Amino acid sequence: MKTAAIAQRYLDFFEKNDHVIVPSASLVSDDPTVMFNIAGMVPFIPYLTGVVPAPHPRIADVQKCIRTNDIEEVGKTARHGTFFQMLGNWSFGDYFKEQAIRYAWELLTSSESDGGFAFDEKDLWVTIYETDDEAESIWRDTIGLKPERIQRLGRADNYWHTGQPGPGGPDSEIFFDRGPAYGKDGGPAVDDSRFMEIWNLVFMQDFIQNVQSGTEFDIVGELPSKNIDTGMGLERVAFLKQGVENMYETDQVRPVLDRAVELSGRRYGAVHEDDVRFRVIADHVRSSLMLLSDGVRPSNEGRGYILRRLMRRSVRAMRLLGVDEPVFPALFEASRDAMKESYPVLEKDWAVLSGAAFAEEETFRRTLAQGSTILDLALNETKKGGGSTLSGSEAFLLHDTYGFPIDLTLEVAEEAGLQVDRGSFDTLMQEQRQRAKADAKGRKRQLADVSVYREFRAHGETGFAGYSDLQTESRVLGIIIDGHPVQTASEGDVAEVILAETTLYAESGGQVADKGAIIGAGFELDVLDVQRPVAGLISHTVHVASGSVAVDDRATTVVDAANRRAAKQAHSATHLVHAALRDTLGQTATQAGSLNRAGYMRFDFAWSQPLSTDTRSEIEDIVGRAVNDALEVTTRIVSLDEAKEAGAMALFGEKYGNVVRMVDIGGPWSRELCAGTHVSTSSEIGLVSLVGESSIGASNRRIEALVGQEAFRELAAERTIVSQLTAALKTPRDQLAARIDELTANLKAAEKRVAQFEAKEREGRVPALVEAAQQVGAYRVATADLGAVGSADDVRTLALSVRERLGTDAAVVAFGGVASGRPIVVVATNDAARAEGAKAGALVRIAAGVLGGGGGGKDDVAQGGGTDASALNTALTAVVSELQGA
């Protein structure tokens, strides 16, 4: 049974049993404290906690999930994967324990011809919470499961909660016995490798407080409305139904593994280490493709870092399998074909997704080439110094700064006959993790506690009247200070204010929040921010400028009209730029994010090459024509399917409901799903001036533009500068660029002549400096304070010239100078001096210490500096003294 068929069979069963089927939420979590949806229940937490009313009493879905906390276990076990799919059925105040257990048992044990999965009852075991007599009774007396196959476990195994005060409850897990070949008998309490968990039924019935950990909390009462939250692992059911050994060999994953086998020429099942690598590749490529499809792009932080790590681990594993050429074109294509039946968007958006993947591989290949060069130098230095072990600090530098994997460092070092100080490397890695934990100390690691908004959300959605009005009268539903509901807020307080209706736009879709005020009888509130903490609720962060505001007060929201007008211009300009980009570059130049505020817009899009000056001008020209044509801007509320049929553009990774707002500018010329505020006609946008275009990653570019009055001010400032230049250079405006090029060329030529003169002058000083060298112990030592110099390179060049003239006897050169007011010292030694023990790096550190600074370098030449230029002669004398004592 194919994985897609298993999922469909699950949904069909629950649809037949009066559940509304909903699509998977994005992998990108709405919760600000977690990056991804790490479990099937995460998107439903607002409904499970009662903060947001559930749209239906019964729901079923297949939820995409990403979990990377066990990334090092991927490929080593049968069940660890970074991307997985959870089959879930949900009851919000409807059916409870008995019906949830009946549904699970019926679906698992019914024949395939009756729509079930045909698991043999004798192979199924269950666990229940240690005090849940009701669940045991249902399993034993209603289902007929033998008592010896029902096991009671404690909180660590069979109790679920969010990690916050609020709802929780016992659960019952269903396990499949894989047989004696996979471990010892005795049920899941004895061996969870042989007994594989396939379904978890959570009975959300308790209210908990004083949560200290997963097992430390107090159950303080029952919930007034009980919920069912279940999850069945699709990949686990798939590999059991398909008769394979693990999830990597199922139909949605195995094709990538097979392609990796083909590329490497090695056999799967022959060598354990190779098998682990094949499975890592199969898992990580699929996870990467799914993350890309939900709008995540490789980067060095946040979600992008997780994606980059998965992709680079795949490349690394292929390299360890002996494949050095690009592999993503073959591997990602195999994953697309395996997953497209379940996720058709992978084929539809293939050009964009593959472009991002291939660009990241090329970037990493360049990183590997650079890292290999640096590693080779480090290995040669280690060998030259007679060492047999590369230091952990050098291995960490390669990993941390250049992204060079430690596995490759170990491999290359072994080929060179050297070891790596892995213990030191691991210590440095642990220190880095501890620093990262310290940086994140203030962030919650559990799901965000939004229960404070439950009471306010129960009044219904916040009405937004801001599309048509700038003011509206409303009522204060709630006030929150420091995360706690209060009845009043007084002058000087900063608080959140929840209103029944508002005209103030909450930040979303790239558009920043409105500026404005909330006023009422006896109070005035300055609006600092407007956000949507939970779906359907708008919260205003305010500073109480005067008076006191209380719950149930009447209040009027007042939008800053000038700021709103400029923000609308910027947001509509973003739509024009998007349309112009697609006209110019093609349909693959899709939006990857935006920011709109008064007078400014930023637009990120999928593209891997810099835009030429001509292309930028063409985009500006298209936008200018659209503004000049006064295109009508219209909005319509339609179903998501209608919007898609009409060709509306949607932002990658953005969540949309079944009913959406579609914004047209000039009809189909620009048609996007958007909840932002917009002008009535494109002519209201005014001037749009592109001021920047840059890279924000291997496959993404960013355009920045000024809009309206801000664009006019920028161009006026540039006109003033041009006028000043034409006057100063006595050159007509149309000849200004040529005149500046001429002056620049003349300046470069003059600088070159000056540099040649200075080099000749320096070379002329060499004989005198050589002549002045003195014998100091075993060394011939040349020292000099060169006075003012152009740069440290001048001192270094002169020191190396003098060292060469001093011949083959042990010689040390220590020169100093002052560049831009700061002292510089350079020490150079020849082979004979180093054989006597004189090391340039050690000597320069002595001199730099006298100057109040530091320095370093290799044994043959080193450089340092400091802050006290008056101590330069003393610093050089310190070098001589060190050599005298040697």
Q: In what order do the strands lie in the sheet with 811-819?
A: 774-776, 779-788, 811-819, 822-829, 861-865, 854-857
Residue 483 lies in a domain: yes
Query: Is 482 found in the same domain as 371?
Result: no
Name, in order, each residue with C-beta under 8 angstroms of 434's C-beta and a sequence gap of 6 or more.
Answer: none
> What's 30-99 look like in SS3?
CCCCCCECCCCCHHHHHHHCCCCCCCCCEEEEEEEEECCCCHHHCCCCCCCCCEEEEEEEEEECCCCHHH
Query: Is 466 found in the same domain as 432?
Result: no
Question: What CATH number does the domain containing 700 carry?
Answer: 3.30.980.10
Instruction: Determine if residue 678 is labeled as part of a ligand binding site.
Output: yes
Residue 845 lies in a domain: yes
At 443 the pLDDT is 35
pLDDT for 405-414, tens place per residue? 777 788 678 7
Count of domains observed in the chain: 5
Choose the weakest-confidence range: 70-84, 128-142, 433-447. 433-447
Distances (CA, A) of 795 to 514, 568, 766, 802, 804: 58, 58, 12, 11, 14
Amino acid at 848: A
At 120 the pLDDT is 95
Query: Is 193 found in the same domain as 82?
Result: yes
Average pLDDT, the chain: 89
pLDDT for 89-114, tens place per residue? 999 999 999 999 999 999 999 999 99
At 179 the pLDDT is 92
Residue 676 lies in a domain: yes
Rounded-to-integer distance, Cα 566 and Cα 569, Å: 5
Query: Is 427 found in the same domain as 356?
Result: yes
Query: Is 665 found in the same domain as 619?
Result: yes
Residue 132 lies in a domain: yes
Q: Where are the beta strands (DSSP E) in 482-607?
A: 484-486, 488-490, 494-499, 501-502, 516-520, 523-534, 537-550, 554-559, 591-597, 600-606
Instruction: Determine if residue 674 is labeled as part of a ligand binding site.
Output: yes
Domain boundary among 714, 731, 766: 714
pLDDT for 623-639, tens place per residue? 999 999 999 999 999 99
pLDDT-based confidence at residue 655 (cuts at 50, 70, 90): low
Domain boundary among 501, 536, 559: 559
Domain boundary among 538, 559, 580: 559
At 440 the pLDDT is 42
Write down the pTM of the prediction: 0.72
Indicate whether 218 pLDDT > 70.
yes
Average confidence (pLDDT) over 546-570:
96
At 654 the pLDDT is 56
Residue 443 lies in a domain: no
Query: Is 626 found in the same domain as 572?
Result: yes
Query: Is 816 found in the same domain as 705?
Result: no
Query: Is 701 found in the same domain as 769?
Result: no
How many beta carbons lie within 10 A of that of residue 125, not counting itself?
Answer: 23
Query: Is 114 found in the same domain as 136?
Result: yes
Choose the weakest-confidence range: 62-71, 257-266, 473-482. 62-71
Residue 720 lies in a domain: no
Residue 263 CB-half CA count within 13 A = 26
How many beta carbons lie within 10 A of that of residue 227, not counting itself?
Answer: 25
Rounded-to-integer distance, Cα 35 and Cα 27, Å: 9
Lookup: tokens for 75: 């490929």
Instruction: Give the residue, 853 or 559, on which the prediction is more confident.
Output: 559
What domain range includes position 406?
252-438
Residue 637 lies in a domain: yes
Average confidence (pLDDT) over 851-862:
88
Instruction: Determine if residue 65 is labeled as part of a ligand binding site.
Output: no
Rounded-to-integer distance, Cα 201 and Cα 143, Å: 15
pLDDT-based confidence at residue 12 (cuts at 50, 70, 90): very high
Residue 727 lies in a domain: no
Question: What CATH number does the domain containing 501 carry?
Answer: 2.40.30.130
Indicate whether 712 pLDDT > 90.
yes
Choose the weakest-confidence range: 364-368, 739-743, 878-882. 364-368
At 32 the pLDDT is 66
CA dihedral 193, 199, 203, 209 (to 10 degrees): 50
Q: With both helix axes pointing from N to C terminus, report the angle between 350-384 and 406-415 in degrees, rounded to the nearest 10.
A: 40
Instruction: Determine if residue 543 is labeled as part of a ligand binding site.
Output: no
Query: Is 270 found in the same domain as 206?
Result: no
Please choose, from the candidates 474, 513, 514, 515, the residue with its C-alpha nearest in 3D space to the C-alpha of residue 497. Answer: 474
Lookup: tokens for 878: 């310190």
